Amino acid sequence: MIKYDRYTGGKRYAATFSYDDGGAADRRLVELFNKYGMKATFNLISSSVIKETGDGIKANEIKELYNGHEIACHTYTHPHLEKMSIKDQYDEIMRDREILEGAWGQIIRGLAYPFGTYNDDTLTAMRTASLVYGRTNVATNNFNLPQDFKIWNPTSHHNECEPCVKRFLYNVTKAPWRAGGVLYIWGHSYELNNAESPVQWEKFEEILKVLSEHNDGIWFATNIEIYDYVNAISALRRSADGKTIYNPTDIDVWISVDDEAIEVPHAKAITI
Ligand SMILES: [Zn+2]
């Protein structure tokens, strides 16, 4: 039996992180992610990154600081998009995209909605701005991928993530047949500085450390890497007799054939 239930490297689970606003604490957070081999998406407000004053992340450090991670839009001024006209929503998103692409040097394809809020016009505006996914602030407390990536609800905020991480690691280690799980944690790096927060730097580092110890079963990826992988696997073409599988994309994917992980390399066909 064939199942499309694996991620890169044949792993059954994936984990991703999403951090908003680009505050000064991003510098420490990136260091932590790098130390434990995690990948994250950083959603930046471009009116802040072009500011000369303050200690937030500046345009000229984006390329080096976030190397290996993903930069995504968080709009130009961080407004409540749903209270604006569709044209102004589009301008907020597109202006952000242009400035961030200029600083990062790569094409930006994702968005985190400021305050997590949006309306139908936002979805049209972000699509018109060629963005393919949008993250909300609504916690699912599960590991399912969204039906529609334009409304990508995360598993949980990092302050409430501990029970989810525990359940996730139980699945990874004890119940791998519960395939298809993506742990998606979001937050703001400055919250880790807050003495009132249930999860501060030390605890967050512990969480990352435990996750990293299971990297044989978890694919750590940015948001866009997960989006692209899921789309690649759904683009596989299978012959009528079921024996030939062709991968027309530029991404290597893995499938289960009788529960065994089989790679279907990019632009290649395999026979099973
Ligand atoms: Zn924000």
Domain ranges of the chain: 14-161+174-224, 235-271
CA of 204 to the centre of ligand 1 (A): 20
Q: 110 CA to middle of ligand 1, Å?
A: 14
Question: What confidence score (pLDDT) does residue 215 get?
Answer: 93
pTM of the model: 0.96
Q: Which neighbouring-strand residues pair with 237?
A: 246
Distance CA 17, CA 217 (A): 17
How far does residue 19's CA lie from ligand 1's centre (Å)? 9
Q: What is the DSSP string of the chain?
A: -EE----GGG-SEEEEEEEES--TTHHHHHHHHHHTT--EEEEE-HHHHT-SSSSS--GGGHHHHTTTSEEEE--SS---GGGS-HHHHHHHHHHHHHHHHHHH-S---EEE-GGG---HHHHHHHHHTT--EEE-S---SS-PPPSSGGGB--SEEGGG-HHHHHHHHHHHHH-TTS--EEEEEEE-GGGGG-TT-SS-HHHHHHHHHHHHTTTTTEEE--HHHHHHHHHHHHT-EE-TTS-EEEE-SSS-EEEEETTEEEEE-TTEEEE-
Q: What separation in Å is there between the alpha carbon of 134 and the centre of ligand 1? A: 13
Span from the CA of 24 to the centroid of ligand 1 (angstroms): 14
Q: How many angstroms does the Cα of residue 78 sit away from the middle of ligand 1?
A: 6
Question: 125 alpha carbon to ligand 1 midpoint, in Å?
Answer: 18
Spacing, Cα 165 to ligand 1 middle (Å): 23
The pLDDT score that the predictor gives to residue 176 is: 65
Strands 260-264 and 13-20: unpaired
Cβ atoms of 109 and 129 within 8 Å: the answer is no
What is the CA(37)–ligand 1 centre distance, in A?
25
Cα of 187 vs centre of ligand 1, distance in Å, is 9
pLDDT 10s digits, 93-132 = 999 999 999 999 999 999 999 999 999 999 999 999 999 9
Q: What is the pLDDT of residue 52?
A: 86
Chunked into runs of 10 residues, the chain (272 residues) has average pLDDT values of 94 97 97 98 97 92 98 98 98 98 98 98 98 98 96 98 96 77 97 97 98 96 98 97 97 96 98 95
Ligand 1 centroid – CA 44 distance (Å): 8
CA of 115 to the centre of ligand 1 (A): 6
Distance 43 CA to ligand 1 centre (A): 8
Class of domain 14-161+174-224: alpha beta
**How many whole angstroms from 114 Cα to the centroid of ligand 1?**
5
Query: What is the CB neighbour count within 10 angstroms for residue 191?
Result: 21
